[in-house]
Structure 1
């Protein structure tokens, strides 16, 4: 199976956009609020979603009108990040199509096992052959609105969509995001994810309604960014990067990609060893561009300064996008350390 890179997928998407008819181009994309929903997918399922020569992911894009990208394979990682962005209905439709592709592959595998009289097929067939699992990534700060008081919201989503939802209790390592597993048929998953996306957008709208209270919002953002910096520092220390202490600088800016709203952004700074810069940038800037694309943050790597053995990296964006950028940066660094046998 040939896997397409992030850059290949972006070029393909741009070509498709140029080929769309005027009616397709104006179908809700200019007036509807958009959202980006990330999820974790196993490396094998990621290959299925992409398909041979990128056929499956192209089909998903065309049928849903959503933007669909998958992060590249990271050595030692068992999962990749699937990002789907666009209007709510398009994002939900794309995830439904993702479910269909995965189910079709699983069904084919089970059939092959059955034909070969594999004893394991009996155990596998006990699972619902029409059910698939999607692991959405939701910011810890927003998980409460999805769950609701005493779980009333998440229960209503389950009943409405006929899916099974399960929210993780703790954020993922080196992240401020938690997972919410959505299990059901592709059609049921579409209903559930559409509702979850609507709830998250409504939460963004309510949060943006307080922007008039500038000083209050600035204080809250400063506290949130400081907490984010502390979390990133703890992650760096756990990996052995004791000198890579993130520093938050107060730089409120406009630009909340994917929400249609204006939100405050912060800048965070970390130092990375000179010998690790290459693995962060990648060939032709491929690695750093992917991290920028997946996180939504602006990332700048300063030139070497004198005899310093470290380079300053400045990450600018929302608290959530910065945390995703830090997570991806540290993942790259840890992967490179493992490859070089460093401790």
Structure 2
């Protein structure tokens, strides 16, 4: 995700143990791939750090954790984020210690208002934390005797996909709630990783371990969310599983600019553009793509076309954020998958290869990607001798189909080039 990422540490930021390290078996449990993220009032940061860092060093030592206090992030903000890297038990222990310090500091400074526990969690995991009709969250509240609220979706921005989970109750109750909340978030993360392992088999030759994008790999696990964007401040969610997968695919020789026409609900245009065009400008910068909304079509008033131009990785980022925005803004129901139609143009000489004999290739493509792929047979090529391929499906399916079709086009072009270049030498030899 290039230079826009401002995160100071990712999951497993210290990387894997070095070969021959004498401490490989010293810790009974592995560090969690999901760190604990907390928000603390800025006025308590000094007490948490302690004189010359003594307090935070003591917490780190006692809990076998690594703690990042992001003091320089969001200058002037009333709260600062803290990231704790450790085992689930270590994270909970560090959380309890930090809450104890804040409570003591509040008493010493005669602060009377309640100091709640605030946990930051990626939006992709919050729905599963809440549960159907709020059942999961209600159970945690009942089991821990706490009151839990979650910041609204409207607070999310392109560069901040985290939501704030506020827990109110006694210190002991908050500590128990933290354990249950993070347990649910880690379960969601692990389920996503498992699903991505299965989906990754759809991409021939993709070596996930070599890429280092899952737990135990070189650069540690990352959130597999397609909704994640550059974090606000020192967000621990960095480049996503899918981002890395497609960046890998896009590092193949053919990375020229592509144009994709993505069709969104007409009512969603305002949400994508944003006030005074701020959202679409941010999205263009983030993705490194040109993004334009086409004028309304009198023949189709329900949909609007978004024209995205950029290399494959830019397509991935831009389309991913658009899919995510439509879900966040509730243009699709809570149980409804976001499925959009995308059009890509292919050279007419490659259209037959995309279809295959008797439609074999396009059928295989649909089975492989789970997207609906249609190459209308009655098309007249445009002025550039291109025809449209229509792809409909959820984000991952659409992306995979787009990449596979581009791969077919590249293969056709490579096969044509040798024939053209072979003509010259062949003639010369006959002479």
Normalising by structure 1, report the TM-score.
Answer: 0.52
Map of 1:179 onto structure 2 = 164
Map of 2:193 onto structure 1 = 208
Q: Do the aligned partners of residues 180 and 314 (structure 1) sit closer, same or farther apart at CA in structure 2, a change above 3 Å counting?
A: same
Query: Contact 2:214–2:222 (CA<8 Å) still a contact in 1?
Result: yes
> Residues 49-94 of structure 1, C-alpha deviation per residue, up to 9 Å, x if partnerless?
1122112211221222222111123433222111112111111111
Q: Do the aligned partners of residues 25 and 66 (structure 1) sit closer, same or farther apart at CA in structure 2, a change above 3 Å counting?
A: farther
Residue among 137, 141, 159 paired with 1:154: 137
Distance 2:103 2:162 in 1: 26
Map of 2:102 onto structure 1 = 102
3-state SS, counterpart of residue 86 of structure 2? strand
Distance 2:166 2:234 in 1: 26
Q: Do the aligned partners of residues 39 and 172 (structure 1) sit closer, same or farther apart at CA in structure 2, a change above 3 Å counting?
A: farther
Residue among 125, 128, 137 paired with 1:142: 125
Distance 2:195 2:57 in 1: 40
> Residues 106-125 of structure 1, C-alpha deviation per residue, up to 9 Å, x if partnerless?
11122xxxxxxxxxx8xx3x
Distance 1:37 1:158 in 2: 19
Cα deviation for residue 295 of structure 1 reads: 5.0
Cα deviation for residue 291 of structure 1 reads: 6.9
Distance 1:106 1:189 in 2: 16
> Residues 195-236 of structure 1, C-alpha deviation per residue, up to 9 Å, x if partnerless?
111111111222222235437988xxxxxxxxxxxxxxxxxx
Distance 2:56 2:100 in 1: 12
Query: Contact 2:161–2:229 (CA<8 Å) still a contact in 1?
Result: no
Map of 1:80 onto structure 2 = 80
Distance 1:94 1:53 in 2: 19
Map of 1:118 onto structure 2 = none
3-state SS, counterpart of residue 67 of structure 2? strand
Distance 1:200 1:269 in 2: 18
- Greater Rg by CA: 2
- Which protein is richer in helix relative to its size? 1
Distance 1:269 1:102 in 2: 31
Q: Which runs of 5+ in 1 are unaligned?
A: 1-5, 8-13, 111-120, 219-251, 271-289, 299-311, 324-343
Map of 1:38 onto structure 2 = 37
Distance 2:37 2:115 in 1: 17
Q: Do the aligned partners of residues 96 and 262 (structure 1) sit closer, same or farther apart at CA in structure 2, a change above 3 Å counting?
A: closer
RMSD: 4.6
Q: Do the aligned partners of residues 204 and 264 (structure 1) sit closer, same or farther apart at CA in structure 2, a change above 3 Å counting?
A: closer
Map of 2:417 onto structure 1 = none
Normalising by structure 2, report the TM-score.
Answer: 0.43
**Does structure 1 residue 198 correspond to structure 2 residue 183?**
yes
Map of 2:213 onto structure 1 = 255
> Residues 233-281 of structure 1, C-alpha deviation per residue, up to 9 Å, x if partnerless?
xxxxxxxxxxxxxxxxxxx954246997577699x999xxxxxxxxxxx
Matched ranges for 1:1-343 at <5 A: 26-30=26-30, 33-73=32-72, 74-110=74-110, 124=112, 127=113, 132-170=115-153, 172-174=155-157, 175-214=160-199, 253-256=211-214, 294=236, 296=238
Cα deviation for residue 98 of structure 1 reads: 0.5
Query: Contact 1:254–1:263 (CA<8 Å) still a contact in 2?
Result: no
Distance 2:127 2:188 in 1: 10
Distance 2:151 2:64 in 1: 30
Aligned residues: 224
Distance 1:33 1:186 in 2: 24
3-state SS, counterpart of residue 155 of structure 2? coil
Cα deviation for residue 188 of structure 1 reads: 2.1
Q: Which runs of 5+ in 2 are unaligned?
A: 1-6, 9-13, 204-209, 241-284, 289-312, 322-431
Query: Contact 1:253–1:265 (CA<8 Å) still a contact in 2?
Result: no
Distance 2:162 2:229 in 1: 20
Q: Do the aligned partners of residues 263 and 109 (structure 1) sit closer, same or farther apart at CA in structure 2, a change above 3 Å counting?
A: closer
